[in-house]
């Protein structure tokens, strides 16, 4: 082994900040530190999302998101590795549409997570037939406006809600969006979705308003989020 000054791998204390991102709320942009413990819990929940999407080892997926959203995507990357699901990534801006286009054309994809409205619009502008283009996929998980647009084009899509830094997933048939209730609580305050942390996290949040209009209902003993 080559001598090194490197502490390999450096293990930070479980609760100490491991990475810092930003979270967008109605009150503005807030720092969003995550501990290793936070990430491990979030990754465990992300595994259940892939299982609900019906994904299995060896099935390639496409993740679309901005660099600043990495704190939200990181658990989903870890979960994919845990399940041996390879992923290929792209940015969510319209400028990067050609990458998503290439990924869908060249790979036998099983799912897309994070399809943004600008990318969807640009794909449609390229003349892609949505039913043909997305038809072979096990799941398309899209931003709310993109999911509505796909539904209108007869392509069933999951809706990806972003409540601050937290992702919630609503199936194509509706019924409200699930989120990780063991870590978070979403309330509707005066018709606006608000986020609180439940567990001890590096960034405790208390009823931070998201700027999203919606309601919360109990469905099958779970809190589900409905966007309005």
Interacting residue ranges for other proteins, rule: CB under 8 A: 1-10, 12, 17-22, 29, 31, 36, 39-40, 43, 57-58, 60, 63, 65-71, 73-74, 77-78, 80-82, 84, 86-91, 93, 95-96, 98-99, 102, 106-107
Take residue 39 and report the two structure tokens written for it.
């990430």
Q: In what order do the strands lie in the sheet with 192-197?
A: 184-189, 192-197, 208-219, 222-227
Task: Give the nearer residue to other proteins in terms of CB position, either 59 or 159.
Answer: 59
Task: Give the nearer residue to other proteins in terms of CB position, either 12 or 200.
Answer: 12
Beta-bridged to residue 28, according to DSSP, are 25
The DSSP result for 105-148, as a single string, is HHS---EEEEE-HHHHHHHHHTT--HHHHHHT-SEEEE-HHHHH
Q: Least Å distance between CB 87 and other proteins?
A: 5
Q: Least Å distance between CB 226 and other proteins?
A: 28
Task: Give the nearer residue to other proteins in terms of CB position, either 99 or 215.
Answer: 99
Task: Give the nearer residue to other proteins in terms of CB position, either 108 or 154.
Answer: 108
Mark 103-114 as b/e (b = at least 16 C-beta within 10 Å).
bbeeeebbbbbb
Q: Least Å distance between CB 171 and other proteins?
A: 26
Task: Give the nearer residue to other proteins in terms of CB position, either 58 or 156.
Answer: 58
Distance CA(176)–CA(227), nearest Å, equals 8
């Amino acid at each position: 082994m080559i001598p090194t000054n490197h502490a390999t791998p450096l293990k930070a204390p479980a609760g100490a900040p491991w990475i810092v991102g930003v979270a967008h709320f109605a009150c503005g942009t807030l720092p969003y530190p995550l501990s290793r413990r936070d990430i491990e819990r979030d990754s465990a929940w992300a595994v259940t999302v892939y299982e609900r999407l019906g994904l299995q080892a060896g099935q390639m997926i496409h993740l679309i998101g901005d660099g600043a959203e990495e704190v939200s995507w990181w658990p989903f990357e870890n979960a994919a590795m845990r399940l041996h699901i390879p992923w290929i990534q792209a940015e969510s801006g319209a400028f990067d549409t050609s990458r998503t286009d290439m990924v869908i054309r060249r790979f036998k994809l099983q799912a897309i997570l994070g399809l943004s409205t600008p990318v969807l619009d640009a794909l449609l502008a390229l003349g892609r037939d949505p039913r043909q283009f997305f038809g072979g996929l096990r799941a398309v998980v899209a931003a709310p406006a993109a999911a509505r647009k796909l539904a209108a084009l007869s392509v069933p899509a999951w809706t990806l809600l972003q409540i601050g830094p937290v992702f919630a997933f609503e199936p194509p048939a509706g019924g409200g969006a699930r989120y990780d209730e063991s870590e978070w609580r979403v309330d509707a305050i005066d018709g606006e979705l608000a986020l609180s942390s439940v567990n001890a996290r590096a960034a405790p949040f208390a009823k931070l308003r998201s700027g999203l209009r919606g309601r919360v209902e109990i469905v099958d003993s779970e809190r589900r989020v409905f966007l309005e």
